[in-house]
């Protein structure tokens, strides 16, 4: 496989969503501010089945992050903002009939569920035996393509703590949200060294890339 990475828009004070997130308000109060730079780009619109959009540096960065992704991993709450059992007629998630991933997506959950095949190449697979197993299953579906850890924050933290992530792509939005869901809550590990490999500034956002020194990277 290629790189295992996370690609996250984050406020300057470290939040990836505002407070009071729910199924109806998945980004939390004010959280949409963190994505404004992205949703206006041609690349994002194209990925989500829309025409138009800005063709700028931000758009190139969105395209570049996505172009080699062969599989994705996300937490249950990022799929449907629920942690309960699935029920008899379960919700098919936030992502619509034709989700923007167009690759296999492995959803971490405590509750087994049959795979859910959507239009456009996205199939949700539900993994009940932890992040290492999810990564193994994702890696079995790719050749040299990348694997994106989509989120949420606790899933990305688990991958960092377990030394299973190679790269963080952070898009720092110049706002202090003051409350919400932090990307980096307290880590359950010793301090972790990174290396900033790249930086690009555009008017609305600061793009920073970090390599993570992990057990996996040292092998």
Binding site for a copy of itself (CB under 8 A): 12-14, 30, 33, 160, 170, 172, 174-179, 182-184, 186-196, 199, 201, 206, 208, 210
C-beta closer to a copy of itself: residue 36 or 129: 36
Identify the bridge partners of residue 207 per DSSP, sorted by sequence position: 171, 200
CB of 70 to a copy of itself, least distance (A): 27
CB of 174 to a copy of itself, least distance (A): 4
C-beta closer to a copy of itself: residue 118 or 149: 149
C-beta closer to a copy of itself: residue 107 or 172: 172
Locus of tokens 């989700």: 99
Run of H or E including 177:
none
What gap in Å lies between CA 14 and CA 179, rounded to an integer?
A: 9
C-beta closer to a copy of itself: residue 30 or 70: 30
CB of 72 to a copy of itself, least distance (A): 23
What gap in Å lies between CA 149 and CA 218, rounded to an integer?
A: 20
Locus of tokens 């998945």: 26
CB of 176 to a copy of itself, least distance (A): 4
C-beta closer to a copy of itself: residue 39 or 199: 199
**Do 21 and 28 form a contact (C-beta atoms < 8 A)?**
yes
Contacts 24+ apart (CB under 8 A), 119-122: 122/95, 122/98
What gap in Å lies between CA 146 and CA 211, rounded to an integer?
A: 14
CB of 44 to a copy of itself, least distance (A): 21
C-beta closer to a copy of itself: residue 115 or 174: 174
Identify the bridge partners of residue 181 per DSSP, sorted by sequence position: 17
Token couple for 15: 């939040």
CB of 77 to a copy of itself, least distance (A): 21
Cα dist from 101 to 27, 58, 68, 76, 125, whole Å:
18, 19, 12, 16, 13
């Amino acid at each position: 496989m290629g790189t295992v990475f996370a690609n996250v828009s984050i406020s300057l004070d470290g939040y990836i969503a505002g407070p009071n997130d729910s199924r109806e308000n998945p980004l939390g109060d004010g959280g949409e501010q963190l994505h404004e730079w992205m949703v206006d780009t041609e690349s994002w619109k194209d990925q989500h089945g829309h025409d138009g959009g800005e063709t700028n540096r931000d758009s190139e960065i969105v395209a570049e992050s996505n172009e080699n992704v062969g599989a994705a991993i996300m937490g249950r709450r990022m799929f449907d903002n629920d942690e309960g059992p699935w029920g008899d007629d379960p919700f098919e998630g936030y992502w619509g009939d034709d989700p923007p991933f167009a690759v296999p997506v492995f959803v971490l959950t405590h509750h087994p569920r049959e795979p859910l095949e959507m239009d456009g190449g996205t199939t949700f697979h539900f993994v009940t035996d932890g992040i290492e197993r999810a990564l193994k299953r994702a890696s079995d579906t790719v050749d040299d393509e990348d694997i994106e850890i989509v989120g949420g924050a606790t899933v990305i933290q688990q991958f960092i703590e377990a030394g299973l992530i190679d790269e963080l792509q952070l898009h720092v939005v110049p706002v202090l949200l003051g409350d919400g869901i932090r990307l980096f809550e307290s880590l359950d590990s010793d301090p972790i060294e990174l290396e900033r490999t790249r930086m690009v500034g555009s008017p609305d956002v600061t793009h920073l890339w970090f390599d993570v020194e992990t057990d996996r990277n040292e092998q």
